[in-house]
Homo-oligomer: A and B are copies of this chain.
Amino acid sequence: MTISVAVSGASGYAGGEVLRLLAGHPSVTIGAITAHSNAGSRLGELQPHLHALADRVLVDTTVENLAGHDVVFLALPHGASAAIAAQLDPSVLVIDAGADHRLEDPVAWEKFYGSPHAGSWPYGLPELPGHRDRLKGANRIAVPGCYPTSSLLALTPGFSAGLLEPDDVVIVAASGTSGAGKAAKPHLLGSEVMGGMSPYGVGGGHRHTPEIEQGLSAAAGESVAVSFTPTLAPMARGILTTATAKVRPGVTPEQLRAAWQEAYGREHFVRLLPEGQWPATKMVVGSNYAALQLAYDAHTNRVIVTCVIDNLNKGTAGGAVQSMNIALGLEETAGLMTQGVAP
């Protein structure tokens, strides 16, 4: 079986990583590669690491160019996906790496994004309870945000198992700079980011906050409130998420570990590390893996879960391709990077 795939937003980091994976996918033929201001350029000028695709020429991101493929990846700024998706054949699988279709709650959407809600699509994080089933045969998939991917993988097992208090979640995450995209902004210059760390979107303002709360609340069966603080780290790729929650009375450390073990024991891409080994982003950079470890702090009665992913891979393009594989009934690991690139 050969699946024809179009990729929009191909000059950005997310689009580039989608292309990197698809170029090695055994069942895929890459069709249209589209961009906005870079239409007409050779891909080799914009993504020079994609050697096999260097001579492909980017075309405009239009419905005409995207139509006629089995799958369309949208790696566009938020707000741009909905209009395009609405014009694509309903039978085409559209995978939106942007934010437009992640949130179920129109009020939360409008509060954080300031535009009309476009509706929500099946959420492409297969390792969450029940999500794999929803992805099978889906024609529309919303790829989770990178911070929500790591945050939900970190804490969902505890909430699903009813072991955690819903009103006291604190998440602090450090992301590589590729999460901020390829648009040239002064604070993202190498001179500014190398050798330093800084927070941003502090105090509940980051747009991934409602997405994290949506996922944890679904797992908990009640409303979960999250204090989320993202920080920018001096590395190109990777997210380290430190997520903590109060443990319900009477829950033992063994029960905690068992819940995570149960959740991920049969998952290919999510690894609960052996006790005593802590995750590091370089374990997973370049790959579709998440690695986790948890600790129980008796002193404060909290579980602390640290989780690492590659924000562009498992956090974006890898999760997208994994979800595509499930939707189309392919081998779930097809085309995905199963080893990190280290050191």
Min CB distance A184 to B, Å, is: 4
B-binding segment of A75-83, A89-97, A293-301: A293-301
**Alpha-carbon distance between A178 and B198 when the two chains are bound, in angstroms:** 18
Min CB distance A220 to B, Å, is: 15
Q: Does A113 contact B (CB under 8 A)?
A: no
Interface centre among A204, A283, A297, A343 (most CB of B within 10 A): A343
B-binding segment of A98-106, A155-163, A270-278, A322-330: A270-278
Q: Taking the full assembly, how many copies of this chain does it contain?
A: 4
Known A204-B297, A225-B300, A231-B242; 17 more pairs at CB < 8 Å? A23-B339, A44-B277, A47-B342, A48-B273, A48-B340, A51-B283, A51-B339, A167-B300, A174-B197, A190-B194, A190-B236, A193-B194, A194-B343, A197-B233, A198-B308, A202-B242, A227-B302
Total interface residues on A, using CB and 8 Å?
92
Q: Given B24, B169, B300, B343, which contacts A338 in the complex, CB threshold below 8 Å?
A: B24
Min CB distance A277 to B, Å, is: 7
* A195 touching B238, Cβ below 8 Å: yes
Chain B residues within an 8 Å CB radius of A193: 190, 194
* B182 touching A191, Cβ below 8 Å: yes
* B48 touching A194, Cβ below 8 Å: no
